[in-house]
Structure formats: structure tokens, C-alpha cells
């Protein structure tokens, strides 16, 4: 047999190194299968314990131990008789006070039919001692405002790194924002609102942060932080940079990702994404902030905003904004390359249904809620999953991340060209295939090294 040449062995080793690098993978597993949440729409942690809190849109919050894959959960708060569900209505938001450990305060956002008038209700509740439940009678209403239609109610509720409470609201509903609420700074609709819940003033159950853009009320409601949103369905703060990421659901053509800043106007209904909406041509983008990313309805028709991953268990996702589309059932990871261009990676092969929301636990690990299945999925790295007990009671449902942008970055204007491919592989197949391929790849590397050393020796013998 003709002996292998040393340069060829080097090439083989290089190929194997690249192959293994690409194989580094993101998977989604489904722990907590014994948890029974009918319509999961939000997942939050309390910043203190390892407990997670899952919102059931009908008006209940379930509490369970994130370390226990067999958790059945228990009712933390039941306000279904104070909640108008369902469709886009219901219990939609939850946030724990930064000092929850000492004051046991948490805040909710829900819709409620008050007589003939649908309204949004932002409330504070107080957990019982021990933190395993809360009494509905502990409610303190922070703010209510009228909802003209049943859809576009927003609902994301978060405390910012500044200690203020942020609420994302929709434009109120119907279609095309008929009352032009989002551009109207004297409306609570189509906004990000910001409250100082620790310093109530002016006869209200909250104070106004002095840096709010219309704090003195002359040019808009003092509660407004940013405006021109259509239906921000899920927003989150990057826990490292404090950037506020928003997924804003589009009207007819464009879904968008925004990074929202103080006083920003995000354009709706003048514009939808980077395109005129009203008027449909020759509109003005003046004074509006463009999305950092948009995708057309050929790709998906209802964005579900997610989180910038800052956990430790899935290194491939670190620093990337993970979000999805409820309509086309896709999940992506977004980051910026060295030229500050947006790069999109699709996490393919998803077999779940209807991603309604994402969530993080206290350590920053990432989860996703499947609305139709009533299930909670967790993002894991396969190597990590194999060594954790959670895998033994979980199902791996997706293949490795498909780095569709590995050949180059995708700019916002090219977003419609995103691949729609993806394949479903069942858990056992992936686990077995991954383990077998790892073993084979390990053996091949060992053989390659042995051959390489042998060839190197022959090569040197030939040279000298
Ligand atoms: Ca509405
Ligand atoms: Ca916009």
C-alpha cells in the first residue's frame, strides 16, 4: 500500500477539527412533563430561589423547582376570576420586585372585563411567608387603562437594571391601529411604560422616573418610556449590557426586532419595519428608530421576542438573542459580527408547537414555552445534557443548530432570504446518533494521530 503523505494527514486532521467544531450543538429538551399548564404564556424566576413561575393565560401562576424534572408544580396565585381570557387576552405578564427576598412583592399584567369595558390591569401582589403561594386579596392595583379591542394587549412585565418597572403595551387592537394610538404620546397604548413603584407620588400607586421623556406631562403621558410599538410580544433586558430587546409583531408584511431606548419612536403606524404603512408610500421615517432586524411574512407572521443568552450551559448561544415565530414555528439566534452586521442562525428541527414565550432561570439558562402543547422546553448543550439528571426524564427534540449564516452575515434587507429548512429528529435518534458519532469521531482522531505520527517519522526519515 502506498504510504500516506504527511501533508495529507494534516489536511485530514484539519477536516476533523472543523467537523467537530461545527458539531457543537444546541438542543431543546422537555423537562417538567408532569407540569400541567393549559396555556403557558410566560416563565419567570424570582431572583432569589431556584423556583420557576409559569403563567397560565387563564389567570393562574404555577410554581415549581427548576432542579426537579419531575416537578408537578403547585398554584402560586389564582386570579382566574379576575382575568379575562383568552385569544390575546388573559394573564400576560409577571415580574418579581428586585427586593423580592425582603418585601415579597411581585407584579402582574392582565386583561379584565370591567362591566362592559375591557381594560388592562397592572397590579402588585404580596407572596405569603415562605414564598410558595400568594393571596389574591393582597392585590394593589398600580394602573388600569382602557382596551378598545380584544387583541394587541402587549403584556410583558419586567424590572429593568435601573430598578424601574417596565410594561409593554400593544396599540389596542383591531387592525392598522385605527385610532393612531402608538404615535399618540397621550395614550398608554403602543408604548413601553416605565414606573417607579418604590416611590409613589401624586396620589398614584407609583412614581414617575424623572428621566422619563415626558415626565412633566407637557408633551405626553409621564409614564411613557418609548412609543410607536404595534404589539411588543415579549421584551427582555440583556443582563450584561442592559439593552432592552423587543419583538414587535407586524401587521401584514414585516416582523421586527428592536433595541428600545429612552424616548425612542419605533415608527408604527407610519411604518412597519423598514417599510411605509400609513401612508403606504412616500411616508416619513423622520424621528423614527429602525428595527435592528426584520423578516417578511414569507418567513413568519408573528414574532415571539426572547432573551440574550447569558447562561453557562449552552456556550454556542452565549451573547446571542434567541427568539422565535409563533406562526411559522421557528427559532433563531441573532448576533452581530465584527462589522456590526446582523447574523441569524436558525435552530432547526423543532417539533414543538407555537412558541408563546421564552424565559430564563436565576442563572440565566434559557427556556421556551409551547402554547399548544402546554409544555416547557429548555435549551441545552448535548455534552451538558448527558451529564445532567434532567436528561433522564426529558426528551430531546431538536437537532444541532444549523449555522445557516456560516458563509457570511445576513443584513436586515436580506432577511426574507432566510432558509426555511429544518428537520425533525426524535430524541433517541439524536442521542444515539450523537453518542455513536462522537465515539466514531474519537476513534478516527486517535487513528489519524497514530497514522500522523507514523507518517511524520517516515517523512523525516525520507528527508534526512
Ligand atoms: Ca386590545
Ligand atoms: Ca417599528
Query: Residue 179 CA: which ligand is closest?
Result: 1
pTM of the predicted model as reported, rounded to 2 decimal places: 0.81
Count H helices and E strands in the chain, helices first: 4, 26
Please give the distance, rounded to the nearest whole angstrom, from the Cα atom of residue 348 to the centre of ligand 2.
27
- Side-chain-side CA neighbours of 379 within 13 Å: the count stands at 35
CA–CA distance, 30 with 228 (Å, rounded to integer):
36
Please give the distance, rounded to the nearest whole angstrom, from the Cα atom of residue 137 to the centre of ligand 2.
39
Per DSSP, the three-state class of 403 is coil
Kindly tell me the burial class for residue 338, based on how many C-beta atoms sit within 10 Å of its own C-beta (0-12, 13-18, 19 or more): exposed
The DSSP H or E segment spanning 227 is: strand 224-227
Task: Show Cβ contacts of residue 1 under 8 Å, excluding neighbours closer than 6 positions.
Answer: none
**With 60 as the cut, is the pLDDT of residue 196 above it?**
yes
Please give the distance, rounded to the nearest whole angstrom, from the Cα atom of residue 181 to the centre of ligand 2.
14
pLDDT range class, residue 5, cuts 50, 70, 90: low
Please give the distance, rounded to the nearest whole angstrom, from the Cα atom of residue 171 to the centre of ligand 2.
12
Position of cell 399548564?
37
CA–CA distance, 308 with 305 (Å, rounded to integer):
10
Residue 445: per-residue pLDDT: 55
Please give the distance, rounded to the nearest whole angstrom, from the Cα atom of residue 424 to the centre of ligand 2.
33
The average pLDDT across 385-398 equals: 43
Nearest 5°: the CA angle 348, 353, 355 is 80
**With 80 as the cut, is the pLDDT of residue 95 above it?**
yes
Please give the distance, rounded to the nearest whole angstrom, from the Cα atom of residue 190 to the centre of ligand 1.
10
- 378 and 43 Cβ atoms separated by less than 8 Å: no
Per DSSP, the three-state class of 199 is coil
Please give the distance, rounded to the nearest whole angstrom, from the Cα atom of residue 38 to the centre of ligand 2.
32
CA–CA distance, 311 with 308 (Å, rounded to integer):
9
**With 90 as the cut, is the pLDDT of residue 273 above it?**
yes
The listed range with the strongest mean pLDDT (318-322, 421-425, 437-441) is 318-322
Distance, CA of 305 to chain centre:
4
Q: Which of 144, 162, 173, 343 has the alpha carbon at shortest distance from 249? A: 173
Beta-carbon count within 10 A of 372 CB: 14
Query: Residue 251 CA: which ligand is closest?
Result: 2
Which residue segments constitute the domains of the chain, with CATH numbers given?
A: 28-432 (2.120.10.30)
Query: Residue 229 CA: which ligand is closest?
Result: 2
Of the listed ranges 53-67, 72-86, 306-320, 430-444, the one predicted with least confidence: 430-444
CA–CA distance, 213 with 220 (Å, rounded to integer):
8
Q: Length of the chain, please?
A: 464
The average pLDDT across 101-117 equals: 97
Please give the distance, rounded to the nearest whole angstrom, from the Cα atom of residue 231 to the centre of ligand 1.
9
Q: Tell me what the pLDDT averaged over the chain comes to.
A: 84
The grid coordinates of residue 237 equal 433586558
**With 70 as the cut, is the pLDDT of residue 399 above it?**
no
Please give the distance, rounded to the nearest whole angstrom, from the Cα atom of residue 402 to the centre of ligand 2.
28
- 206 and 200 Cβ atoms separated by less than 8 Å: yes
Please give the distance, rounded to the nearest whole angstrom, from the Cα atom of residue 162 to the centre of ligand 1.
28
Amino acid at each position: 500500500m502506498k504510504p500516506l503523505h504527511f501533508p495529507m494527514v494534516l489536511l485530514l486532521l484539519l477536516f476533523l477539527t472543523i467537523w467537530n467544531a461545527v458539531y457543537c450543538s444546541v438542543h431543546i429538551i422537555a423537562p417538567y412533563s408532569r407540569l400541567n399548564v393549559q396555556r403557558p404564556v410566560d416563565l419567570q424566576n424570582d431572583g432569589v430561589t431556584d423556583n420557576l413561575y409559569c403563567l397560565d393565560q387563564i389567570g393562574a401562576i404555577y410554581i415549581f423547582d427548576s432542579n426537579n424534572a419531575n416537578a408537578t408544580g403547585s398554584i402560586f396565585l389564582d386570579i382566574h376570576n379576575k382575568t379575562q381570557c383568552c385569544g390575546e387576552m388573559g394573564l400576560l405578564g409577571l415580574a418579581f420586585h428586585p427586593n423580592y427576598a425582603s418585601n415579597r412583592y411581585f407584579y402582574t399584567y392582565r386583561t379584565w372585563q370591567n362591566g362592559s369595558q375591557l381594560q388592562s390591569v397592572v397590579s402588585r401582589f404580596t407572596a405569603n411567608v415562605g414564598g410558595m403561594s400568594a393571596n389574591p386579596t393582597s392585590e394593589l392595583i398600580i394602573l388600569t387603562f382602557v382596551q378598545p379591542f380584544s387583541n394587541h394587549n402587549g403584556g410583558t412585565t419586567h424590572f429593568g437594571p435601573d430598578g424601574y418597572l417596565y410594561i409593554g403595551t400593544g396599540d389596542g387592537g383591531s387592525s392598522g391601529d385605527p385610532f393612531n394610538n402608538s404615535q399618540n404620546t397621550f395614550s398608554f397604548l403602543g408604548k413601553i411604560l416605565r414606573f417607579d413603584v418604590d416611590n409613589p407620588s401624586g396620589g398614584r400607586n407609583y412614581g414617575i422616573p424623572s428621566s422619563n421623556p415626558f415626565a412633566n406631562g407637557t408633551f405626553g403621558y409621564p409614564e411613557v418610556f418609548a412609543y410607536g410599538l404595534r404589539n411588543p410580544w415579549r421584551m427582555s433586558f440583556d443582563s450584561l449590557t442592559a439593552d432592552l430587546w423587543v419583538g414587535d409583531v407586524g401587521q401584514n408584511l414585516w416582523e421586527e426586532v428592536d433595541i428600545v431606548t429612552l424616548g425612542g419612536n419605533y415608527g408604527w403606524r407610519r411604518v412597519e419595519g423598514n417599510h411605509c404603512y400609513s401612508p403606504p408610500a412616500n411616508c416619513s421615517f423622520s424621528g423614527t428608530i429602525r428595527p435592528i432586524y426584520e423578516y417578511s411574512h414569507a418567513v413568519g407572521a408573528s414574532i415571539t421576542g426572547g432573551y440574550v443568552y447569558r447562561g453557562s450551559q449552552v456556550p454556542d448561544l452565549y451573547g446571542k438573542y434567541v427568539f422565535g415565530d409563533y406562526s411559522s414555528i421557528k427559532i433563531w439566534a441573532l448576533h452581530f459580527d465584527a462589522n456590526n452586521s446582523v447574523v441569524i442562525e436558525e435552530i432547526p428541527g423543532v417539533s414543538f408547537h407555537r412558541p408563546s414565550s421564552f424565559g430564563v432561570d436565576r442563572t440565566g439558562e434559557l427556556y421556551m414555552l409551547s402554547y399548544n402543547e402546554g409544555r416547557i422546553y429548555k435549551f441545552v448543550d448535548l455534552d451538558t445534557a448527558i451529564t445532567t439528571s434532567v436528561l433522564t426524564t426529558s426528551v430531546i427534540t431538536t437537532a444541532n443548530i444549523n449555522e445557516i449564516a456560516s458563509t457570511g452575515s445576513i443584513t436586515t434587507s436580506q432577511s426574507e432570504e432566510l432558509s426555511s429548512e429544518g428537520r425533525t429528529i426524535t430524541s433517541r435518534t439524536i442521542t444515539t446518533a450523537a453518542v455513536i458519532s462522537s465515539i466514531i469521531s474519537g476513534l478516527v482522531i486517535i487513528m489519524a494521530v497514530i497514522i500522523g505520527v507514523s507518517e511524520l517519522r517516515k517523512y523525516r526519515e525520507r528527508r534526512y
